[in-house]
Amino acid sequence: MKQRNKALVLLSGGLDSGVLLWKLKSEGYVLSTLTVLFPGRRKNEIHAARDLARLAGSKENYEVTIPFIPSPKAEEGCYIPKRNLMYYGMAASLADIIGAQKIFGGHIRHDGAVFKDARKDYLMKISRLAGVPFAFPFIGMEKKDIIKTGSRLKVPFDRCWSCSRDGRKHCWNCNSCRERESGFREAKVKDPLYV
């Protein structure tokens, strides 16, 4: 049986899905999360997803491993073929099992410009096929807008992992790090990770 205010959130451990988690929490949703693991998945990102779920008070946190995905390369934007088709297909099945009313993703405008499977029309086709409502509150927003929202909601930005590499700290050279840096600068918010 579906629970009216239960949300299943696809949680990567990055800024966008982290801010989404806090937004839904502030709106009174009962939170559940789904994190997808695969070969080469950055350990810091996995730890970040677990930390964020715990800190947001999510009680049901699922991790699904897809072993056949080739390890994504940072220099190729960490591209994974048909990633969102797989992710949201699994999320739709899980939502049915746990009684989640809606599935949420933290995609922003930039994602759709880079990856075809992160565009709203593509994602909504999966939603219609699965028969489960999907929602993407940030899909028309820029990184700076997400950071402003997260700052207002007191998201622990120091727990969000943005780097495409898996070092001890953010490299500040990859596209993801540069996007984070420029987002904080444009939002006029201090990034607790950047010294």
- Sites in the chain below the pLDDT cut of 70: 1-3, 74-78, 195
pLDDT at 77 (0 to 100): 59
Tell me the DSSP string of 57-93.
Answer: T-SEEEEEE-TTSPPPPGGGTT--TTHHHHHHHHHHH
pLDDT of residue 13: 97
* Closest listed residue to residue 24, CA positions, set 158, 189, 155: 155
Q: Check: CATH 2.60.120.200 for 3-187?
A: no
**Token reading at 107:** 């995609």
Q: Where are the domains of the chain?
A: 3-187
Contact 174, 163 (CB under 8 A): yes
pLDDT tens digits along 75-85 = 565 678 888 99
Q: What is the pTM of this model?
A: 0.93
**CA–CA distance, 66 with 126 (Å, rounded to integer):** 19
What is the pLDDT at residue 61? 98
